[in-house]
Amino acid sequence: MNSFDDLGAAVALPRPVRRVVSLVPSLTEAIAMSCPGVLVGATQWCTHPGDLEVARVRGTKNPNCREIVSIAPDLVVCNEEENRRIDVERLRDAGIAVWVTRIRTLDEAFASMTRLFTVALNVPAPEWLRQAEIEWEAPPSAPMIDAVIPIWRDPWMVVGRDTFTGDLARRLGLRLVHLDRPGRYPTVSLEELTEGVSLAVLPDEPYRFTETDGPESFPGLPVALVEGRGLTWYGPSLRTSRGVLTRQLSRALGNSG
């Protein structure tokens, strides 16, 4: 049976899907929680759930395609941003069904995840997904704050336009000051990093910002150290991430004076 993934590619889906390899940490957590026993492979970056015991097929950008083929999955799940097109094509050329998601906003996340479960995996949409939609449907309750979210340093790279994290930040009441720059994750100088910024939000991934690594670059500004998973993952963490992140941002702003 052919269905179409988020990019419009026809995917021949077996029924039922019993063996899945996930090349995206968010999708790995979502599938493991919702379809126990289905996952047979994941990347080394797939850290949730912590007790997941499956074959590890290297990273999101350099998966071991030969090993994936040897595992003989019914389906491999990928993401347009996280994974390379060449790896998707190699797997498809080897006769493996590959489902590619496209997620750049919260609404796209909810729609894409619903299709992943109901169409690709042919199971009901999980309850946590409905709860996450409810959690994020209300608009921000406070005035917008001009903010920056770095994802790397040396060089400094920040969250820009057309990103899932940028849309999530907007829902939290953050106005990212670098949205007008070209590229989705623009590189900026140290001077540009703080220009017009009222709050710096430092996640612990992909770069691991800590109390002693990062805040010193934002003298005189409130800094919120936040869990990167809550800010960048679009799986089950969305059920609780809004409340957690809101408290972390409020604490940073309250401590700034």
Rounded to whole angstroms, how far apart are CA atoms 31 and 64?
Answer: 21
For 105-136, what is each residue's pLDDT tens digit?
A: 999 999 999 999 999 999 999 999 999 999 99
Residue 175 scores a pLDDT above 50: yes
List the one residue out of 159, 73, 167 whose CA is nearest residue 120.
73
CA torsion 4-10-15-21 (nearest 10°) is: -90
The SS3 call for residue 151 is: strand
How large is the average pLDDT for residues 24-47? 97
DSSP 120: I
Which burial class, exposed, middle or buried, applies to 85 when counting CB atoms under 10 A from its CB (0-12, 13-18, 19+)? exposed
**Residue 142's pLDDT is what?**
80
Residue 255 scores a pLDDT above 80: no
**Residue 256's pLDDT is what?**
47
For 190-217, what is each residue's pLDDT tens digit?
A: 999 999 999 999 999 999 999 999 999 9
What mean pLDDT is reported for the chain?
Answer: 95
Rounded to whole angstroms, how far apart are CA atoms 85 and 37?
Answer: 27
- Written as one letter, the residue type at 211 is E
Rounded to whole angstroms, how far apart are CA atoms 127 and 246?
Answer: 23
